[in-house]
Amino acid sequence: MKTNQVIEVALKAGETLLTGGAEIYRVEDTVIRICESYNVDAECFVLPTGIFITVIDNEGNPVSFVRRIRKRTVNLEKVEKINSFSRSLQNNPVSYQEAMTGLNSIIGLEGYSYALKLLVAGITPFAYAMLFRGTLAEACASFVIGIVIYFIKEEITRTGIFEFFENFISGMAAGILSVLAIKLFPFMDLYRIIIASIIIMLPGLAITSAIKDALYGDIVSSMFRLTEAVFIAAAVGVGVAIALSVGLRWI
Amino acid sequence: MREILLAFIGSICPGVIYNVEKRNLIWVGFCGMLGWITYSTFNELAESVVLASFLGAVVVGIYSESVARLLKAPATVFSVPGIIPLVPGIGAYNTIQHIAENQLYEAASKGIETMSCAGAIAFGILLTSAVFRLPKKLKKRRPNPA
């Protein structure tokens, strides 16, 4: 395989990992591991917003690539698949065509269907409302609100307006819908419905990745993810707070 | 018993949203379940949310690092959905509610509690992954004891 092709495979794997929510050290390890499998000596530097890679090709010229990462989602299945893919390359360095086919089949994975995710986005708040010792009625209200805010969030993410806008709007939607729910059925408890329905928007992945990054010495990325977590939490919180202050006082 | 089952469901479902593979989903569920059992036990015994969150996170960390080695999957797959039952949702909500009602003193007190919980969870995970990394580091060092 040519040096350029090796880098292409490595970059593609790294990009998929990073957009799937992997830790920084895992991305760097994977890129370097793929390059080493083909006897290419590479130096790689990864930030949550980009991958930088430099190698020396056969003629002794340095070759450098930068891949900017703009969209970050969470897809742990792809992280796992790419991880085992790169390990299999280490034992059995396949040809460029085969490697690309393997990578593309991982990237093309659809994951769970949208309908199932919507349903699950409803069941999660339902389970948490019950876990916080809520009544069945509160759990059902959270179920509906959970589905609605997941739908809103996905729609906004698809159009892609601003980074944290979808969190703000979903938080506000959760607040408004919960206030509406208790106005319609006054016997329900407001706080359980809201907590249960915003729980899946909380930045669990950002925080865990931030810690792992710090542990491996990637302090810049760690700060980045911590800030991201704070921004997400703040956006959701402000959304809920606006809905609550307006909803409880004037309606 | 009912709560344990709910915690199980409550970590499988975020697992689906994060696209965890089907064969790993059940292990994700056990992760959240064990974390929640620890958290609620110590929350009642010690009456300290922060300590309970910390211990819950330690259990989640130990569980996910060991299962990750058994199933040959990244530990994140289990720990990310697994800590969701421990997330200080009630504290965060109370903080926001106090701010919305302009009771800033209570908001500060609740806010600090929430942040301590989040910090405790973070530190719990940090501690376990650090401990699990130790053998690997020691093994690497052995060939050339400089």
**Angstrom distance (rounded) from CA A104 to CA A220:** 30
Task: Provide the pLDDT confidence category of residue B2 given band limits of 50, 70 and 90.
Answer: confident
Give the model's pLDDT for residue B141.
65
Q: Which residues lie below 8 Å from residue A189, measured CB to CB, with a gap of 6+?
A: A134, A138, A182
Give the model's pLDDT for residue A93.
81
Tens digit of each residue's pLDDT, chain A (251 residues): 788 888 888 999 999 999 888 888 889 989 998 888 888 888 899 998 899 999 887 788 888 889 898 877 788 888 888 988 888 888 888 888 888 888 888 888 877 888 888 888 888 888 888 888 888 888 888 899 999 988 888 888 888 777 788 889 888 998 888 888 888 888 888 888 888 888 878 777 787 788 888 888 888 888 988 888 888 888 888 888 888 888 777 65
Of all helices (H) and strands (E), which one includes residue A43? strand A42-47
In a domain, B54, yes or no: yes
Share of chain B above pLDDT 90, in %: 21
Task: Provide the pLDDT confidence category of residue B143 given band limits of 50, 70 and 90.
Answer: low
Q: Which domain holds residue B30?
A: 2-141
Q: Which of A84, A208, A233 sits opposite B83 (nearest CB)?
A: A208
Q: Do A200 and B14 touch (CB under 8 A)?
A: yes
Tokens of B10: 């409550």
In a domain, B105, yes or no: yes
Give the model's pLDDT for residue A212.
81
Mutate to test the interface with A, among B53, B96, B133 (most CBs of A within 10 A): B96
Q: Do A131 and B83 touch (CB under 8 A)?
A: no
Mutate to test the interface with B, among A76, A77, A123, A126 (most CBs of B within 10 A): A76
Q: Which residues 22-81 in chain B show a CB within 8 A of chain A?
A: 24, 36, 72-74, 76-77, 79-81
ipTM score over 0.85, yes or no = no
On the question of pLDDT at B72 being above 50, the answer is: yes
Note whether B131 contacts A: Cβ–Cβ < 8 A.
Answer: no
Q: Do B93 and A112 touch (CB under 8 A)?
A: no
Q: Is the Cβ–Cβ distance between B56 and B82 less than 8 Å?
A: no
Shortest distance, CA B52 to any CA of chain A (angstroms): 16
Closest CA to A7 of A27, A44, A35: A35
Task: Provide the pLDDT confidence category of residue B146 given band limits of 50, 70 and 90.
Answer: very low
Shortest distance, CA B146 to any CA of chain A (angstroms): 22
Note whether B108 contacts A: Cβ–Cβ < 8 A.
Answer: no
For residue A123, what is the nearest residue in chain B, using CA coordinates?
Answer: B13
Angstrom CA distances, A239 to A126, A129, A165, stand at 21, 20, 10
For residue B74, what is the nearest residue in chain A, using CA coordinates?
Answer: A80
Q: Which of B36, B92, B125 sits opposite A208 (nearest CB)?
A: B125
In a domain, B70, yes or no: yes
Tokens of B69: 């080695």
3-state helix, strand and coil shares in percent for chain A, rounded to the nearest 5: 70, 10, 20
Give the model's pLDDT for residue A202.
79
Helix axes B22-46, B2-17, angle to 10 degrees: 130
**Angstrom distance (rounded) from CA A100 to CA A94:** 10
Q: Do A76 and B7 touch (CB under 8 A)?
A: no
Establish, for the pair of chains A and B, how many residue pairs have beta carbons separated by less than 8 Å: 146
In a domain, B146, yes or no: no
In a domain, B100, yes or no: yes
What are the sequence ranges of the domains in chain A? 3-107, 114-250
Instruction: Tell me the pLDDT of chain B averaged across its residues.
Output: 86
Shortest distance, CA A140 to any CA of chain B (angstroms): 15
Q: Within 10 Å of residue A52's Cβ, how many Cβ atoms?
A: 15
Domains held by chain B: number:
1
In a domain, B115, yes or no: yes
Q: Which of B13, B18, B100 sits opposite A244 (nearest CB)?
A: B100
On the question of pLDDT at B58 being above 90, the answer is: yes
In tens, the pLDDT along B86-108 reads 888 788 888 888 887 888 999 99
Give the model's pLDDT for residue B62.
93
Q: Do A212 and B129 touch (CB under 8 A)?
A: yes
On the question of pLDDT at B142 being above 70, the answer is: no
Write the single-letter amino acid at B41. Answer: T
On the question of pLDDT at B145 being above 60, the answer is: no
Mutate to test the interface with B, among A86, A118, A128, A230 (most CBs of B within 10 A): A128
Q: Do A22 and B74 touch (CB under 8 A)?
A: yes
Q: Do A76 and B85 touch (CB under 8 A)?
A: no
Give the model's pLDDT for residue A84.
87
Q: Do A77 and B81 touch (CB under 8 A)?
A: no
